[in-house]
Amino acid sequence: AGNEILLAIESTCDETAAAVVTRDGRVLGECIATQEKLHERFGGVVPEIAARAHLERILPVIDTAMTQAGVQGEDLQAIAVADRPGLAGSLLVGVVAAKSLALAWQKPLVAINHLHAHLYACQLSQPSGESVYPAIGLIVSGGHTTLYLCEDPINLQYLGGTIDDAAGEAFDKVAAMLSLGFPGGVEVSRWATRGNAKAYDFPRSKLHDGSFDFSFSGLKTAVRYAIVGPGRQDFSSLELDDSTKADVCASFEAAVVDTLVGKSRKAIRQHGVKRLLIGGGVAANGRLRRDFAAAAEQDGFQLVIAPPELCTDNAVMGAIAWKQIDRGQFATLDLDITPGLQR
């Protein structure tokens, strides 16, 4: 059983990824083709471009991961693919590839929930393999800002989520306003390190409304007003000095992180769970990691944040498929995509 291996495929958004992972958590082969360059000039992911790029890359990406691992189809225990949630055209490419290979190689198929996988990345960071469940789970990515009560890797209860923009999306939009490039999260956080987080008093929306929901569109508007005033849509000719940019980034980042920390603390308190898992691209953020560590120490809960390389989209977190295999949760060859988020 120690040498059982599976192939995991990820194509939910704009990363084409494949990984060959063993049951005991080793990564034998991995390949990620990012599409950042293709979407950069649009300031966001363009679904049609993403789908086409996945189509061009999916087979070479799978081939690279398999070759790196030194394995062939016949060596696999199963083929796993993220079938939800995500962009329809993007999901379709991964799902069709996985179904075709499952049919050709006569291997079982496993359908992965991409959000569950983002949190499972926390499990993969545990060297001892000790379970990180039950826990409160926070997913902060380009598409999602969601709190779950996680009984185990697969049984998650939705507590709340964003009612407008996702946290990562807000980072990307602020980056666009300041012409910092795409994806903007990394750039905003880099600028933030040189700024004063108290320079602007940006809103911490919904922080005390008693729900586990988030809202970042008001914050985004507040940032816009702070840098150009109301009404203006075109930021291309905007000239801001570096210290203003840094202060805006730092103050914005602090507002996002304060909200995330506040709601997560409340979820932990309310549900009496002593552990918090954080996954998704924004979990790579430095201030987020620092402030959550401080909150964990103060409130006395265990904090497990996915390792930075497993925060953004990847196929290694598809190792969650082993948990589904253990429960006999296989998909059939008529598997379809589920783009929308089901709670």
> Could you list the residues that contact Zn ion (CB under 5 A)?
141, 313
State which of residues 226, 282, 296, 316 lies at the interface with ligand KG4 (CB under 6 A): 282
Stated as kind and residue range, the H or E segment containing 176 is helix 167-177
N residues, the chain: 343
Within the chain, how many helices (H) and strands (E) appear? Answer: 10, 10
Site membership for ligand KG4, residue 281 (CB under 6 A) = yes
* CB of residue 305 to Zn ion, shortest distance in Å: 15
* CA–CA gap between residue 320 and residue 23 (Å, rounded): 10
Q: In this structure, are residues 263 and 147 in contact, taking their beta carbons and an 8 Å threshold? A: yes
Ramachandran area for residue 80 (φ above 0: left; ψ -120 to 50: alpha; else beta): beta
Query: What burial class does residue 53 get, using C-beta atoms within 10 Å of its C-beta: 0-12 exposed, 13-18 middle, 19+ buried?
Result: buried
Stated as kind and residue range, the H or E segment containing 147 is strand 145-150
Q: How many residues bind ligand KG4 (CB under 6 A)?
A: 20
Site membership for ligand KG4, residue 142 (CB under 6 A) = yes
Site membership for ligand KG4, residue 284 (CB under 6 A) = yes
77 binds, among ligand KG4, Zn ion, none (CB under 5 to 8 A by kind): none
- Taking the least distance from each CB to ligand KG4, the nearer of 13 and 78 is 13
User: Can you say which residues are annotated as belonging to the binding site for Fe cation?
Assistant: 114, 118, 313
* CB of residue 280 to Zn ion, shortest distance in Å: 6
User: Can you say which residues are annotated as belonging to the binding site?
Assistant: 114, 118, 139-143, 172, 185, 285, 313
* CB of residue 114 to Zn ion, shortest distance in Å: 6
Site for ligand KG4 in 168-187 (CB under 6 A): 168-169, 171-172, 183-186
For residue 59 the two structure tokens come to 């087979």
List the beta bridge partners of residue 84.
113
* CA–CA gap between residue 329 and residue 213 (Å, rounded): 31
From the CA atom positions of the chain, what is the Rg in Å?
20
Site membership for ligand KG4, residue 11 (CB under 6 A) = no
DSSP code at position 273: -
Backbone φ, ψ for residue 61 (5° rounding)? -65, -45
List the beta bridge partners of residue 228.
none
Site membership for ligand KG4, residue 285 (CB under 6 A) = yes
Evaluated on CA atoms 292, 179, 309, 11, the torsion sign reads positive
- Taking the least distance from each CB to Zn ion, the nearer of 29 and 318 is 318
* CA–CA gap between residue 3 and residue 152 (Å, rounded): 24
- Taking the least distance from each CB to Zn ion, the nearer of 182 and 191 is 182
- Taking the least distance from each CB to Zn ion, the nearer of 167 and 246 is 167
Site membership for ligand KG4, residue 123 (CB under 6 A) = no
* CB of residue 24 to ligand KG4, shortest distance in Å: 25
Identity at 231, one-letter amino acid code: G
137 binds, among ligand KG4, Zn ion, none (CB under 5 to 8 A by kind): none
Site membership for ligand KG4, residue 318 (CB under 6 A) = no
* CA–CA gap between residue 322 and residue 23 (Å, rounded): 6
State which of residues 29, 89, 280, 318 lies at the interface with ligand KG4 (CB under 6 A): 280
* CB of residue 185 to ligand KG4, shortest distance in Å: 2
* CB of residue 168 to ligand KG4, shortest distance in Å: 3
* CB of residue 216 to Zn ion, shortest distance in Å: 17
Stretch that binds ligand KG4, among 126-134, 166-174, 197-205, 316-324 (CB under 6 A): 166-174
* Site residues for ligand KG4 per CB under 6 A: 13, 141-143, 168-169, 171-172, 183-186, 189, 280-282, 284-285, 312-313
